[in-house]
Each structure stands twice: as C-alpha cells, then as structure tokens.
Chain A
C-alpha cells in the first residue's frame, strides 16, 4: 500500500471488499499515518450517513396518476402482432444471418468439391487425353482402346492403360505408392521403337530410365507416365509390366498391342 492508493483501499474496506490480510495491512498503514487515519474517519462518516439515510423517505403511490397519463390504446393492436417491433442487434439481423449462411454454404460447397475433385476429374487414360498429350488432337491415327491392367497392393496402386493404331502404341502408367516401387515396361526392341516418354506428374524422388526394350521407373507418391512406341512391323505384340517393391516382385502382367 502506498500514499496514492490507500484511499481506494479505505473505500473498498467500507464496501466490504477487503479480505483479512488486506484489512490488517490497511489498519497498520492507518496506525502509522495519522493524516490517512483522519481521511478514513471522514470517508467512514459519509459512508455511514449515506447508508443510514436511505429508507427515511415517503413513498407516494403514483400508479393511478401514471396509468391515467399513458396512452392506453398505444399497444391495443390487431391480432397479427404487427405493431410488435423486435429490435435485434446487427448479428441477429436476418440480412446478416442469411448472408452469412450463403457465404458459409458456398465456402463449404467449394471445400467439399475440392475434396472430391479427383473423382470428378476425367480418367487420365481416356482416349482424348492421350491424344492431347502424346499424339495431339489432330492425330490422323485411327486409335483402338487396348488392354487395361489394374493392381492394388498394400499402400500402393498401379494402373496401365493402352491404346494403339496400326503403327503406334501408347501406354499410360499411373502409380500411387507410399514406398519406392520399381515399374518395368518391357517389349521386344525388334518389334517396338521407343518414341517418347512423358512424365506428367513425377515425384521429385522418382526417376525414369530407358534402355533397349525397357522403360524403368522408380517412383514414390503419385506418378503419371505416358509412353509412346512405334510398332515397327505393325503386327500383334505383347508388352509386359512388372512391379517390384523392396527388391521383390509384387505384380507382373502383360498387354497385347494391335490385336488381330
């Protein structure tokens, strides 16, 4: 306690707000400071007078007078309650509530849509997309949709789709895996010539290498790879897909190109 706040403490004490140690401290301060003790006496005298004078006034009954003066018909109203005006705060106003609901609805809608967006996206392997990426929209080739391979293992998924014309073959490999997997596309180099490999989405840790008769892909995460081959003799041939994980083969199958 100091000289500046002891008066505040005096009033708090008069209001019964001080706890025992605070009261003791105030008492000590007043004992040590006669000037402060005089102020305390003054505060208490006024406080006591104000407290005791509160119930000494007459209480006239003004009800009749008041009721005579009020406009008795002011709220006499039709049964529809149309003269009842409900005053709402800004946050309770219908315009705010409806506006907020609309904005929240749009936001939630966009959010949910974004969650399922992948499901709405056209499949990577449809014919149109393949034309656009590997052969172009104006490709003169007469394409035929070929075999599709699907494999789902523990925390991995692979799909290989194909299409072909007499002289060309396109393969689209779609890999999704938490761990590193190795995908090998094998073909006979006497039958096919590798024209192009397109990495549409390739995780940074993933890589692609090619050699005669083989495209080798190491990948984690989600990867989409397009491969375009030239069918040298325009005959029917097989292409093999092998998937290895942790050094072990987990899947192998083949697709047939240019089925006769």
Chain B
C-alpha cells in the first residue's frame, strides 16, 4: 500500500474525504498527546486537549497554507492551544502535575523522586520555555523542525532553548535535585 504524504491527505480531506483525516489522526495523535501531557501534566486534561486540538485542526484545514509542512502546522496549533490552556488554568496546572505524571512513570524509589522533581521543575518554567524543552527532549525534534514550528530562525531556537535549560537548571538547584548530589 502506498503511504500518502501529509499534504496529500490534507488535500483529500478538503476535497471531502473525511477518512483521510482519520489517517492524519492516527499518524499524529500519539506525539501530540505526549507533548500536551508533558506540558499540562495531567492525563485527562491531555486527552481532552488533544481531542480539541484535532477538532480545531480539522476545522482549519480549509485554510491550510500549502507552503508550510503539515507537521509544523499541527504542532504549532497544538502548542498554541496548550499554552492558552495553561495560561487559563495556572493553578490546576501546578496541582495536577506531579500527582498524575509521576504516577505514569515506571521508575521506583529514588528514580521516581528525581523524575517527579524534574516534571515539577518543568511546570515552573514559562509555557514557552516548557514547550521548547518538550519538543527537544520528549518529541526529539531538531532545531530546524522547532524553528519551522515556531516560525523563527534556528539561531533564535538555539538561544531560547539555552535560556529554557538554564532556567530549569536553576529551578532544580533550588529544589535540591537528587542527581546533583
């Protein structure tokens, strides 16, 4: 079976073939969900937000700009939606995080404590910096891909990522990150 590329599927969707959107959902739901979960720190919220993101993507497909890659476009929508959600629910974001995300981890004892602390530290970062670290570490995107998603230069990605990592390091010092000892 020939694998259709993203833009081809987008074209088919806006030509009326809704099944092509199903393929796009299948292709991207996991990476978007994981990114959202890392950003908001709560499984149920991440599920809801991921669904909302895909519904929004579907609604906006008609105005998809063909000069962009679908990959960058859907990421951009997902990040914007998630950051908007975080800004609307700052307290919920902080409370839910350690509880739910840490529970998902399979690392016992000391390990679990370190991961939990790191997740908690991530939540103290601004959503913009957090999103960069999520894209870099959890979604393993290259600088070029991150630049495409954020519509900025690679150099700007590099400098913002540096700031994000430095902020996180300082937060972790304050928390007494066990790996430092």
Contacts of B67 in A (CB 8 A): 89
Quick check: A60 and B169 within 8 Å, CB to CB? no
Binds A, one of B53-61, B85-93, B144-152: B53-61
**How far, in Å, is B99 (CB) from chain A's closest CB?**
15
A residues within 8 A CB of B62?
74-75, 83-85
Once the chains bind, are A46 and B169 in contact (CB under 8 Å)? yes
Q: Which residue of A lies closest to B137 (CB)?
A: A50
Q: How large is the interface on A (under 10, 10 to 19, 20 to 34, 35 or more residues)?
A: 35 or more
On chain A, the residues within 8 Å of B63 by CB distance are 85, 87
Please pick, from B13, B17, B115, the residue contacting A49 in the complex, using a CB distance under 8 A: B115
- Which residues A190-229 have CB closer than 8 A to chain B? none
Tell whether A53 is near chain B: CB-to-CB under 8 Å: yes
Per the bound structure, the CA–CA distance linking A71 and B59 in Å amounts to 8
Nearest residue, chain B, Cβ from A10: B165
B72 to chain A, nearest CB (A): 15
A250 at the B interface (CB under 8 A): no
Query: Contact between B115 and A84 (Cβ–Cβ < 8 Å)?
Result: no
A102: chain B residues at CB < 8 Å are none
Looking at the complex, which of A61-69, A138-146, A151-159, A179-187 is the stretch in contact with chain B?
Answer: A61-69
Asked if residues B133 and A70 are in contact (CB atoms below 8 Å), the reply is no
Q: CB within 8 Å of B: which of A32-53? A: 39, 41-43, 45-51, 53
A41 near B14 with CB under 8 A, answer no
Q: Does A72 contact B172, Cβ atoms closer than 8 Å?
A: no
Please tell me if B138 contacts chain A, counting CB pairs below 8 Å: yes
Which residues of the partner chain A approach B65 to less than 8 Å between Cβ atoms? 87, 89
B124 shortest CB reach to chain A, Å: 13
B25 adjacent to A75 (CB under 8 Å)? no
Interface status of B5 (Cβ within 8 A of chain A): no
Does any Cβ of B come within 8 Å of A121's Cβ? no
Interface centre among A7, A51, A66 (most CB of B within 10 A): A66
Indicate if the CB atoms of A65 and B15 lie closer than 8 Å: no
A8 within 8 A of B: yes
Knowing A42-B172, A49-B118, A53-B105 touch, does A84 contact B15 (C-beta < 8 A)? Answer: yes
Query: Would you give the shortest CB distance from A233 to chain B, in whole angstroms?
Result: 86
Minimum CB–CB distance from B180 to chain A (whole Å) comes to 5
The smallest C-beta distance from A78 to any residue of chain B, in angstroms, reads: 9
For A54, the chain B residues whose CB sits under 8 A away are 137-138, 140
Is B29 engaged at the interface, CB distance under 8 Å to the other chain?
yes
Q: Is the CB of A49 within 8 A of B165?
A: no
Q: Of A41, A45, A58, A87, which is within 8 A of B43 by CB?
A: A58
Is B18 touching A49 in the complex (CB atoms < 8 A)? Answer: no
> B137 to A56, Cβ gap below 8 A?
no
CB-CB under 8 A from B104, the residues of chain A are 56-58
Residue from A8, A43, A74, A86 whose CB has the most chain B CB atoms within 10 Å: A74
Asked if A117 lies at the interface with its beta carbon under 8 angstroms from chain B, I say no
CA distance A67 to B23 in the complex (A): 11
> A40 CA to B26 CA in the complex, in Å?
40
Of B54, B105, B177, which contacts A66 at CB under 8 A?
B54
Q: In the complex, which residues of chain B have a beta carbon less than 8 angstroms from the beta carbon of A7?
A: 162, 166
Interface positions of A from 1 to 50, Cβ below 8 Å from B: 7-8, 11, 39, 41-43, 45-50
Residues of A within 8 A of B (CB): 7-8, 11, 39, 41-43, 45-51, 53-54, 56-63, 65-67, 69-72, 74-77, 81, 83-87, 89
List 20 additional contacts besides A57-B38, A75-B15, A76-B18; criterion CB under 8 Å: A7-B166, A8-B162, A42-B172, A49-B115, A50-B118, A56-B107, A58-B43, A59-B33, A60-B33, A62-B54, A63-B25, A67-B22, A69-B51, A70-B58, A71-B59, A75-B13, A75-B16, A75-B17, A84-B15, A84-B62
